[in-house]
Amino acid sequence: MTTREKGTVMDAIQIKRALMRISHEILERNGGAEKLVIIGIRARGDSLAGRIKNYIKNIESIDIPLGVLDITLYRDDFTSINSKPIVGKTEIPFDVTGRIVILIDDVLYTGRTIRSALDAIIDFGRPKEIQLAVLLDRGHRELPIRPDYVGKNVPTSENEHIEVKVEEVDGEDRVILREVKDDD
Amino acid sequence: MKIQNRKYIIKGGRVIDPLQGIDEKLDILIDGDKIEALGHFEKKEGEFVDVRNLVVCPGFIDMHTHLREPGREDEETIETGTKAAAKGGFTAVASMANTEPIIDNSGMIRFIKEKAERDGAVEVYPIGAVTKGQKGEELSEMFDMAKAGCCAFSDDGNPICSSYMMRKALEYSKIVDKTIIAHEEDLFLSKDGEMNEDFNSTKLGLKGIPTISESIMVARDIAILGFIGGNLHIAHLSTKQSLDMVRKAKKNRLSITAEVTPHHLSLVSSCLATYDTNLKMKPPLRTKEDVKALKMGLRDGTIDCIATDHAPHALFEKEMEFGSAPFGIIGLETALGIVCTELIQTGILSLKELIEKMSVNPARILGIEERTLKKGKDANITIFDPNKEWKVDVNNFVSKSTNSPYDGWKLKGYPVMTIVKGKIVYREGEFQQ
Amino acid sequence: MMINGKDLLGIEELSKKEIEVILKTADSMKEISERKIKKVPYLRGKTVVNLFFESSTRTLASFALAEKRLSADSFNLSSSSSSVLKGETLLDTVRNLEAMKIDFVVIRHPMPGAPHFVAKRIKASVINAGDGTHEHPTQALLDLMSLKQKLGTIAGKKVIIIGDILHSRVARSNIWGLKKMGAEVSVCGPPTLIPYKMEDMGIKVFYNLNEALADKDVIYVLRIQKERQEGGLLPSLREYIKIYGITPERLKNAKKDVVIMHPGPINRGIELDPRIADGKHSIILNQVTNGVAVRMAILYLLSGGEGDEDSK
């Protein structure tokens, strides 16, 4: 499967503004940073989560506990893959019971990743609430999952693909819209 | 085998007869069970058999076959084993004595002969046990068995552990002037061993059978032979050390002969990495150096003949984890293909020399009628194509057992026709009743 | 990333890359055993049978925990307790398991090659939990993981394995693993307990313990069994202890920060002095902890019954 770049959906500045807005929204909705914990989903949601944690610190001078979740072992789509994705480390060095978990991922699509993440978090304890923040929502939900905070809504078709690049992993901040090419 | 009374003209083949020094295109006239004449025949009474581009030679003899009857007729019978022999180009086999019960008296020898006469596709020369029950304690009635028709003595399957018994056996056998075929294995050194002791046994975690297990016994028996006389034949020689000892003993003019199996010329211990039980036999597959030495040993005459050690085993016994499977593989139907591929194609032996190893020499060692295509001799003829390539498929084997490591191999050298006492027993895939 | 093929039968056939993938995955798996709810749903609905023809508490327990922590349906068939295995050939056992649609078989057997025999005849993934004196791959992998944790890297380290190498599947697997990861490996023991042509594995052989210990970073001590004396291979355990027993005095010949390992169970006071087994050099308990994580990693990386038409 090859893809062809169609265009940039968000550049670095737009990403920064969206994340800052989301950080304010989180604080507004929850009346401050008490009881909050942030969990980012590998492999890019965790980078974004780190940034949101820092923005919140700059705004209200509070250090919200940050965790990283790897959902590889909770996926439901293994049946026909021959190559196994690498299992990353999950690090949740705090108790989630009674807390408000802000779950953060880069792209929301079918909703299956978030379902896996919810299963995982609930294995760690009983949160008071789980709220979902995503940088992009590209539609085409297959499960009843909805985000609480969205950076940008980007309606896409099924032969399109959203690629998120983040500074921490890819060396730049950019969201790219790609089209799947049918090879002749 | 009823005496047949037809006439055949085996026409246009390359007749190679070592004893007469013949290697030319000749026709053979067969009358009944005898050879009538060699020459060029155009108008003759009888059936013409076209064997152009094929080699025609005195019939092969496998002097080391296990027919498993009586006792393990599920693995092989005299009927199926001799059919397998015929398919492999052999006109006769010498059958080993380690059946159930053991062939250690004249009654059993007669049983084998009579059964073979009725059911056998080729001639069977029974081998009698050296010791009663092959227990290694008391000598068997060698004189009586020889009178009943046995051609040699062997406790094969087992070594003769006691040096005293080997001495007595060689001594006593002088009455009948027959050879003692020795399975050389020091059971103390080989105890629990399953493959050759070398780097491969270390890697595979299997207990090894060291080469000295064989060479110690060869050394021992050569010393006894030298001391007391008799005739000694080393069965399934497998190591360079043993070979060197036999060479030296021959130089010293001792009455010693030796055989090698096709598998010891074509497989090595590293093949066992898959734990395939069809590679498990005694003596075990050795190393490249041993294979090389054995081939040279054939060339320089130290090794007199090639014998298969055809050892059928039931599928349910071989289809097991390696440690539980019995030792032994079959070989009658692949022997010619293996030796042509390993020895003729590589130029190590000439066709004449190969025929000596498979026909002339076994007959001499067993003391049976010499193999040559002369008027008045029994018409025992092997006809084969040394260049034809074929693929081994164990499902096409006529042997009751399929424990062969060669399934799927491409070999060069194909038995085409086997004539036993004038009867075309096997002809290109078909058996004659 | 994956292991080539559907089974794990030995370390000999693994590449360095595959070993690295396994260790990396095991590292991630470790965290799961530290949670309150020690479970992830990855193998939910998959069936694993532990087919143990040789008794073992630790390896069996370690595999069973790994299987359950991945939510698999796991059950044990051991020949000591089950009449199912007695009197039935391995072939029939395999056929029955195949008919029951098992996804994984973990097998420990006294004969080398038994896991290979099973793997050839069943669609399920087969994991070798020890086949006679041949290999014990999961043990070697957890050993490598423990060593990497302690030393940071394995390449260039000098490791000596001491004891009954001849009968040790742990030694063989570890030699393959350590060499592939770039360590310098040697063995030391009585000549009667060192296999023929062992040097051809690319290692040095020592008979003298002091010489052997001299510049080593890691000492891996093997268990010595009383049966060796009865088999005529050793005159007595007493003599063995005198020549090869690892005691605090002997350790004076080794590096100050040498690491001590043992596959367990330890014959305290025989091959290893209890003070050392419990002392600061030893990482023996870490080995045990890592066992579950490594076995979880293997279960994750093998295809588990899916490897027929699709795989590779």
Q: Are residues B201 and B300 in the same domain?
A: yes
Residue A97 included in any domain: yes
End-to-end CA distance of chain C: 12
pLDDT of B77 > 90? The answer is yes
B283 prior amide bond cis, ω within 30:
yes
CB-based contact, C303 to chain A, within 8 Å: yes
Contact C100, C122 (CB under 8 A): no
Facing residue for A89 by CB, picked from C28, C36, C310: C28
B275–C132 CB contact, under 8 Å: no
At which of B366, B393, B421 does a domain end? B366
Residue A167 included in any domain: no
C172–B205 CB contact, under 8 Å: yes
Q: Are residues B350 and B384 in the same domain?
A: no
CATH at residue B27: 2.30.40.10
C25–A86 CB contact, under 8 Å: yes
DSSP H or E run through A148: none
Residue-level pLDDT at C312: 32
| Interface predicted TM-score of the whole assembly (ipTM), two decimals | 0.87
Q: Which residue of A has its CA nearest to C305?
A: A79
CB-based contact, B327 to chain C, within 8 Å: no
B202–C132 CB contact, under 8 Å: no
Whether B and A touch (3+ CB pairs < 8 Å), yes or no: no
Q: Are residues B187 and B133 in the same domain?
A: yes
Q: Going by C-beta distance under 8 Å and a sequence separation of 6 or more, which residues neighbour residue C172? A: B203, B205, C133, C134, C135
CB-based contact, A80 to chain C, within 8 Å: yes
CB-based contact, C7 to chain B, within 8 Å: no
Q: Are residues B208 and B282 in the same domain?
A: yes
Q: Are residues B26 and B81 in the same domain?
A: no
Q: Catalytic positions of B, please? A: 309
Give strand pairing partners of A7.
Answer: A177
Phi and psi torsions of C50, nearest 5° = -100, 105
DSSP string, C226-243: THHHHTTS-S-HHHHHHH
Among C264, C253, C240, which Cα is nearest to C164's? C240
Facing residue for A123 by CB, picked from C28, C35, C301: C35
Residue-level pLDDT at A82: 57
Rounded Cα gap, residues C298 and C300, in angstroms: 5
Rounded Cα gap, residues C85 and C94, in angstroms: 11
| This prediction's pTM | 0.88
Rounded Cα gap, residues B401 and A54, in angstroms: 77
CB-based contact, C121 to chain B, within 8 Å: no
Q: Going by C-beta distance under 8 Å and a sequence separation of 6 or more, which residues neighbour residue B63? A: B93, B94, B152, B181, B259, B305, B307, B362, B365, B366
**Which pLDDT tens digit goes with each residue over C89-110?**
888 888 888 899 999 999 999 9
Q: Which residue of C has its CA nearest to B204?
A: C134
Rounded Cα gap, residues B52 and C242, in angstroms: 77
Q: Which residue of C has its CA nearest to B318?
A: C91
Q: Are residues B325 and B427 in the same domain?
A: no
Give strand pairing partners of A13.
Answer: none
Residue-level pLDDT at C88: 79
CB-based contact, C90 to chain B, within 8 Å: yes
Residue A44 included in any domain: yes
Q: C195 vs chain B: nearest CA distance in angstroms?
A: 6
Q: A15 vs chain C: nearest CA distance in angstroms?
A: 30
Q: How many other β-carbons are positioned within 10 Å of the β-carbon of residue C1?
A: 15
Residue B270 included in any domain: yes
Please state the three-class secondary structure of chain B as a single string. CCCCCCEEEEEEEEEEEHHHCEEEEEEEEEECCEEEEEECCCCCCCEEEECCCCEEEECEEEEEECCCCCCCCCCCCHHHHHHHHHHCCEEEEEECCCCCCCCCCHHHHHHHHHHHHHHCCCEEEEEECCEHHHCCCCECCHHHHHHHCCCEEECCCCCCCCHHHHHHHHHHHHHCCCCEEECCCCHHHHCCCCEECCHHHHHHCCCEECCHHHHHHHHHHHHHHHHHCCCEEECCCCCHHHHHHHHHHHHCCCCEEEEECCHHHHCCHHHHHHCCHHHCCCCCCCCHHHHHHHHHHHHCCCCCEECCCECCCCHHHHCCCHHHCCCCCCCCCCHHHHHHHHHHCCCCCCHHHHHHHHHHHHHHHHCCCCCCCCCCCECCEEEEEEEEEEECCHHHCCCCCCCCCCCCCEEEEEEEEEEECCEEEEECCEECC
CA distances from C274 to B131, C246, C257, C265, C284 (A): 58, 10, 18, 12, 12
How many degrees, rounded to 5, is the angle at CA C89 between CA C83 and CA C93? 70
Facing residue for A74 by CB, picked from C37, C41, C301: C41
Q: Are residues B173 and B96 in the same domain?
A: yes
Q: A–C: how many Cβ contacts below 8 A?
A: 51
Facing residue for B320 by CB, picked from C89, C198, C200: C89
Q: Are residues B184 and B137 in the same domain?
A: yes
Question: Which residue range forms the structural domain that includes residue B25?
Answer: 7-56+377-431
Residue-level pLDDT at C232: 81
Low-confidence winner among A68-77, B9-18, B275-284, B404-413 (lowest mean pLDDT): A68-77
pLDDT band at B298 (very low <50, low <70, confident <90, very high): very high
Give strand pairing partners of B195.
Answer: B208
Q: Are residues B420 and B284 in the same domain?
A: no
C-contacting residues in A 132-151 (Cβ below 8 Å): none
Contact B113, B148 (CB under 8 A): yes
CB-based contact, B273 to chain C, within 8 Å: no
A84–C1 CB contact, under 8 Å: yes
CB-based contact, C55 to chain A, within 8 Å: no
Residue-level pLDDT at C2: 63
At which of B345, B366, B387 does a domain end? B366
Token reading at C167: 């009968």
Residue-level pLDDT at C309: 41
CATH at residue A60: 3.40.50.2020
Residue A15 included in any domain: yes
Residue A4 included in any domain: no
Residue B388 included in any domain: yes
Residues in chain C within 8 Å Cβ distance of B205: 112, 131-135, 169, 172
Contact B94, B64 (CB under 8 A): yes
C134–B208 CB contact, under 8 Å: no
B-contacting residues in C 8-37 (Cβ below 8 Å): 12
Residue B371 included in any domain: no
Residue B231 identity (one-letter amino acid): N
Residue B372 included in any domain: no
CA distances from C93 to B432, C90, C116 (A): 43, 5, 14
Give strand pairing partners of B1.
Answer: none
C137 prior amide bond cis, ω within 30:
no
Residue-level pLDDT at B362: 98
Query: Rounded to an integer, what is the distance from CA C38 to the centroid of its chain?
Result: 24
C1–A79 CB contact, under 8 Å: no
Facing residue for A124 by CB, picked from C25, C35, C312: C35
Residue-level pLDDT at C81: 57
Using 70 as the pLDDT threshold, list the residues of chain C that sit under it.
1-2, 80-86, 228-229, 304-312
Q: Going by C-beta distance under 8 Å and a sequence separation of 6 or more, which residues neighbour residue B318? A: B277, B278, B325, B326, B403
Residues in chain C within 8 Å Cβ distance of B324: 90, 111
Token reading at B243: 């070979």
pLDDT of B430 > 90? The answer is no
CA distances from B166 to B159, B225, B366, B430, C296 (A): 10, 9, 19, 44, 60
Rounded Cα gap, residues B346 and B340, in angstroms: 9
Give strand pairing partners of B384.
Answer: B55, B415
Q: Are residues B220 and B101 in the same domain?
A: yes
**Which pLDDT tens digit goes with each residue over B117-173?**
999 999 999 999 999 999 999 999 999 999 999 999 999 999 999 999 999 999 999
Average pLDDT, chain B: 96
Residue-level pLDDT at C86: 66
Report, as an integer, the average pLDDT of B221-250: 98
C197–B324 CB contact, under 8 Å: no
Whether A and C touch (3+ CB pairs < 8 Å), yes or no: yes
**Which pLDDT tens digit goes with each residue over B419-428?**
999 999 999 8
Residues in chain A within 8 Å Cβ distance of C41: 73-74, 119
C312–A82 CB contact, under 8 Å: yes
Residues in chain A within 8 Å Cβ distance of C297: 87
**Which pLDDT tens digit goes with each residue over B388-409?**
999 999 999 999 999 999 999 9
C112–B206 CB contact, under 8 Å: yes
Residue-level pLDDT at C308: 43
Using 50 as the pLDDT threshold, list the residues of chain A that sit under it.
80
B205–C198 CB contact, under 8 Å: no
Q: What is the DSSP letter of A43?
A: T
Rounded Cα gap, residues B75 and B98, in angstroms: 14
CB-based contact, B288 to chain C, within 8 Å: no
Q: Are residues B309 and B405 in the same domain?
A: no
Residue C216 identity (one-letter amino acid): K
Structural domain count of chain A: 1
Question: Which residue range forms the structural domain that includes residue A63?
Answer: 11-73+93-160
Structural domains of chain C, ranges and CATH numbers in brackets: 16-135+288-302 (3.40.50.1370), 137-287 (3.40.50.1370)
pLDDT of B18 > 50? The answer is yes
Rounded Cα gap, residues C93 and C83, in angstroms: 12
Report, as an integer, the average pLDDT of B303-320: 96
State the best of C40, C44, C294, C298 to mutate against chain A, taking most chain A CBs within 10 Å.
C40
CB-based contact, A4 to chain C, within 8 Å: no
Q: B317 vs chain C: nearest CA distance in angstroms?
A: 10
CB-based contact, C103 to chain B, within 8 Å: no
B205–C134 CB contact, under 8 Å: yes
Rounded Cα gap, residues C25 and C48, in angstroms: 20
Residue A34 included in any domain: yes
At which of B346, B366, B386 does a domain end? B366
Structural domain count of chain B: 2
Q: Are residues B251 and B268 in the same domain?
A: yes
State the best of B198, B321, B322, B324 to mutate against chain C, taking most chain C CBs within 10 Å.
B321
Residues in chain C within 8 Å Cβ distance of A80: 310
CB-based contact, A168 to chain C, within 8 Å: no
CB-based contact, A85 to chain C, within 8 Å: yes
Residue A3 included in any domain: no
DSSP string, chain C: ---SSS-B--STT--HHHHHHHHHHHHHHHGGGGSSS---STTTT-EEEEEESS--SHHHHHHHHHHHHTT-EEEEEETTT-TTTTTS-HHHHHHHHHHTT-SEEEEEESSTTHHHHHHHH-SSEEEEEEETTS--HHHHHHHHHHHHHHHS--TT-EEEEES--TT-HHHHHHHHHHHHTT-EEEEES-GGGS-TTGGGGT-EEES-HHHHHTT-SEEEEPP--THHHHTTS-S-HHHHHHHH-B-HHHHTTS-TT-EEE--S---BTTTB-HHHHTSTTB-HHHHHHHHHHHHHHHHHHS--S--SSS--
Residue B1 included in any domain: no
